[in-house]
Amino acid sequence: MFFRSFLSVSLVSWVGVVVAADSAWQHLGNLSPYQKAPLPSGVKADLPDDCTVDQVMLMHRHGSRYPLVTELPFIQGLQYKLGNASDALAKAKLPSNLQFLKKGYTTTLGVNDLTAPGRQQLFNHGVEFRLKYPNLQASSVLAGGQDRVIESAQWFSQGYFGRTWPTLNETEFSTLPENNVTISWITPMDTCPLWQYAYGNNATVTWGAVYLPPITKRLNNVLPHTNLTDDDTHGALFACAYDLAAHGVSPWCDAFTEKEIADFEYELDLLMDGAFGYNLPSPMGPMLGTLFVNKLIERFSNSTGNASAVYLEFGHDTTIDQALAALGLAKDSPPLPASGPVPANRKFKTSIQVPFAAQMVWEKFSCTSSAKDAQIRLVLNESPLPLSACAKSSFDKSHGSCSYDSFVKANSYSTSTQWGSAAWNKTCGVAAF
């Protein structure tokens, strides 16, 4: 079945939850437009009435963007091939889902920067976040030092603070450089020299050699004189994702079957898991994420004596993936296979974890009767992601939370890991550089 006008029905499983999916855009991995994560079975979305959020820390991925400089050439190469065959395509009898090619396909996509839908995603999230925590007021905003991240933080702030921001609002706006000398919980891999050599696309190359050739053959059978290659097919898949990211619609999404889109989604999962997650050489993936976990614990413990009630921070999908790896969340056992078959119930699924404009929200809360002591929970894209390593009580399991003290104890690996320590330097090969 092809995605007719993005409408079809398929079943997707995430953390044991089966949800209905009605369009291609929900299955484009970390290139998916923002979507709310499914609520895990048995977990309640809202806290009891006697519970109050006392402190919150937001790590927000930038909104929908244009292709990276490494991705755009695939789309441009496809455009070139189709342009050379334009006369043949105009005369050919094409299937209904490829009729748009009779008029040609020209890409107007830019590179790297935030798109109009990306700006809207962040503005809307700023408004929603202000309404969700009306009694907690932020006084500062921190963004990673890339343009799309900075602009995302600005649009969120416009929604959160209002049109007087920043001229008439006493809010500190700062950036954290993204380079190989700045110790950063937003881009921790930048200060790990061996990461540059450890991550790669070997898994995606292997998987691409499995799933792309049949699609290329099918397209060449119905598109005369195009002589498409697997790179061109890749370009068409990227065009689906990035036309959506830039324009909110793409004719290319309807060119693929549900399975073909799912295979592309799996390629992106392999890429992210292999570059920023569990498939990095052990223990690099979890170790990189300890910088974020330690920053979270530092703030929620108020170990510096100047903790804020609200932290608004902006980074990347990689920031969130590395934090999840340090926490042992969304981990598959055995690891995701590079040559398939695609695990039907895999836990590491970037469409749900880190779509464009993903929101990782940490809440520290207290209750008058439902739970004792300070509590913590992770709300990822509007749904609690259970903290299984420290959940003990029935309250923990029904709300995806755990006591704050139990959380700290469960994350002793992070608290015992420091940037520049012997273990860090050994894993990152710092001494060799």
Q: How confident is the model at residue 10 (pLDDT cuts 50, 70, 90)?
A: very low
Q: How confident is the model at residue 202 (pLDDT cuts 50, 70, 90)?
A: confident
Evaluate if residue 245 carries a pLDDT over 60: yes
234 in catalytic set:
no
Question: Are 331 and 278 in contact, with CB atoms under 8 Å apart?
Answer: yes
317 in catalytic set:
yes
Catalytic-role residue among 243, 254, 269, 317 = 317
Q: From CA 397, how far away is CA 386, in angstroms rounded?
A: 7
Evaluate if residue 118 carries a pLDDT over 90: yes
Alpha-carbon radius of gyration of the chain = 22
Q: How confident is the model at residue 17 (pLDDT cuts 50, 70, 90)?
A: very low
Question: Are 264 and 100 in contact, with CB atoms under 8 Å apart?
Answer: no
- Predicted confidence at residue 390, as pLDDT, reads 96
- Mean pLDDT over 356-380 rounds to 97
pLDDT of 305-331, one tens digit each? 999 999 999 999 999 999 999 999 999
Evaluate if residue 7 carries a pLDDT over 50: no
- Mean pLDDT over 209-219 rounds to 98
Least confident of 36-40, 143-147, 200-204, 365-369: 200-204
Q: How confident is the model at residue 45 (pLDDT cuts 50, 70, 90)?
A: very high
Q: From CA 323, how far away is CA 362, in angstroms rounded?
A: 12
Q: What is the residue-averaged pLDDT of the chain?
A: 92
Q: How confident is the model at residue 201 (pLDDT cuts 50, 70, 90)?
A: low
- Predicted confidence at residue 24, as pLDDT, reads 83
- Mean pLDDT over 339-350 rounds to 93
- Predicted confidence at residue 164, as pLDDT, reads 83
- Predicted confidence at residue 196, as pLDDT, reads 84
Catalytic-role residue among 27, 60, 62, 399 = 62
Evaluate if residue 9 carries a pLDDT over 60: no
Evaluate if residue 258 carries a pLDDT over 80: yes
- Amino acid at site 347: K
Could you give the 3-state DSSP secondary structure of residue 342?
coil
Evaluate if residue 101 carries a pLDDT over 60: yes
Question: Are 141 and 92 in contact, with CB atoms under 8 Å apart?
Answer: no
Residues of the chain with CATH 3.40.50.1240: 25-67+114-191+281-432
CB atoms within 10 A of CB 368: 10
Evaluate if residue 403 carries a pLDDT over 60: yes
Query: Mutual orientation of helices 116-132 and 230-247 as an angle, nearest 10°?
Result: 50
Q: Which residues contact residue 354 at a Cβ distance below 8 angstroms, ignoring those fewer than 6 apart? A: 30, 61, 272, 317, 320, 321
- Predicted confidence at residue 244, as pLDDT, reads 96
- Predicted confidence at residue 280, as pLDDT, reads 93
pLDDT of 50-95, one tens digit each? 999 999 999 999 999 999 999 999 999 999 999 999 999 999 999 9
- Predicted confidence at residue 20, as pLDDT, reads 28
Question: Are 136 and 309 in contact, with CB atoms under 8 Å apart?
Answer: yes
Least confident of 220-234, 257-271, 272-286, 418-432: 418-432
Evaluate if residue 199 carries a pLDDT over 90: no
- From the number of C-beta atoms within 10 Å of its C-beta (0-12, 13-18, 19+), residue 163 rates as exposed
Q: From CA 251, how far away is CA 239, in angstroms rounded?
A: 9
Q: Which residue has the higher pLDDT, 374 or 2?
A: 374
- Predicted confidence at residue 6, as pLDDT, reads 35
Evaluate if residue 387 carries a pLDDT over 80: yes
CATH superfamily of 25-67+114-191+281-432: Phosphoglycerate mutase-like (3.40.50.1240)
